[in-house]
Copies of this chain bind each other. A is one copy, B any other.
């Protein structure tokens, strides 16, 4: 609800073209700064510069703007430029200073998780397989670490047309530490028209239909499937009678 208020109250909307299109019902007549993929830096710089002229700018992300999204880049640019900034309610605005509010959203790990059931009710780790800005060696080290320590693994950016082997490598790493029957939830375009939800055993993950808009949830050693659901018990069943 806060998002809708902020978007409606903004003078300028900045965002990835696809996301700006998703909210077009809310932004009629407003100035728009939209750029395509891999043009994030130009977009966020333009958003910060426009805000410095005194306009109210809403920089939109999908899901949560703080999770693999633009809030971090906005703050990084603000710091690099040496611009003064504060949170709302932390003092009166000054000339040349920005008020920065990060409005939290529902991240793909929550929306996707909810469609699967409850895969994240115990410790979990999020790893992006995109090696555009992170060396693959570090990604692989992280996959190994959390597979070995039995975290539920949430895989972001699992596959694109050019990056087609990384998810198979993640599957291979997970299989070193957990059973081939471990449930894996695959959620495509959560809460959008093209939504698709499936659960497969870890040993079949390489055959699953996965793209850039998919989030993959690899269960831990306790995760279970039941009917169309996947969930991760927290341990109540060991301490309490859940049945009667």
CB atoms of A133 and B71 under 8 A apart: no
A231 interfacial contact with B, CB 8 Å: yes
A75 to B67, CA, bound (A): 27
CB-defined interface of A90-117 with B at 8 Å, one 1/0 digit per residue?
A: 1000000000101111110011011101
Stretch at the interface among A8-16, A21-29, A134-142: A134-142
A125 to B81, CA, bound (A): 30
Chain B residues, CB < 8 A from A66:
110, 113-114, 117-121
A84 interfacial contact with B, CB 8 Å: yes
Contact of A229 among B85, B103, B127, B150 (CB under 8 A): B85
CB atoms of A123 and B121 under 8 A apart: no
Of the listed residues A72, A151, A237, the one surrounded by the most CB atoms of chain B closer than 10 A to its CB is: A72
Query: Given contacts A41-B242, A242-B77, is CB(A125)–CB(B146) below 8 Å?
Result: yes
CB atoms of B234 and A133 under 8 A apart: yes
4 A-B pairs with least C-beta separation: A72-B121, A133-B235, A145-B149, A71-B118
24 contacts between A and B (CB under 8 A): A45-B242, A64-B110, A67-B120, A68-B121, A68-B234, A71-B121, A72-B121, A74-B118, A76-B233, A80-B237, A80-B243, A85-B226, A100-B117, A102-B118, A104-B111, A105-B106, A107-B110, A124-B125, A133-B238, A134-B234, A141-B149, A145-B146, A146-B146, A146-B151
| A residues with CB within 8 A of B | 1, 40-41, 45, 64-69, 71-81, 84-87, 90, 100, 102-107, 110-111, 113-115, 117-128, 133-134, 138, 141-142, 144-146, 148-151, 224, 226-229, 231-240, 242-243
